[in-house]
Amino acid sequence: MMTTFEALADPTRRRILDLLREQPRLVGELVDLLEMSQPGISKHLRVLREVGLVRVRQDAQRRWYELQTDPLAEIDGWLESYRHLWEVRLDRLDQYLQELQGKDKEHKDG
């Protein structure tokens, strides 16, 4: 079985999730919006369903696909420990740019 990360690695599946983030959708809507075949979209939806990113809701003869955010929250929690590394680097970059601006201003004033 595929992991959440493996499922998210595919750009088409990410586009599907972006569309489902806006609202639940039918397969036909996704086919039209993504300009792909119905079997192709169904294959991607099956993968997303297997990893828990998508849920299917049956409404009479229609199957609505909805985004499920729990797996994304787990990834966000895991990434949290890495955000600190980026914040430190961005703070250093900001400090460096401020120093450069200060030197540039001194050079122009001098």
Q: How confident is the model at residue 21 (pLDDT cuts 50, 70, 90)?
A: very high
Average the pLDDT over 18-28 and give the result: 97
Do 87 and 38 contact (CB within 8 A), yes or no?
no
Give the 3-state secondary structure of residue 15.
Answer: helix
| Chain segment 55-109, per-residue pLDDT in tens | 999 998 999 999 999 988 888 888 888 888 888 888 889 898 988 888 777 767 6
Give the 3-state secondary structure of residue 38.
Answer: helix
Q: How confident is the model at residue 110 (pLDDT cuts 50, 70, 90)?
A: low
pLDDT above 70 as % of the chain? 96
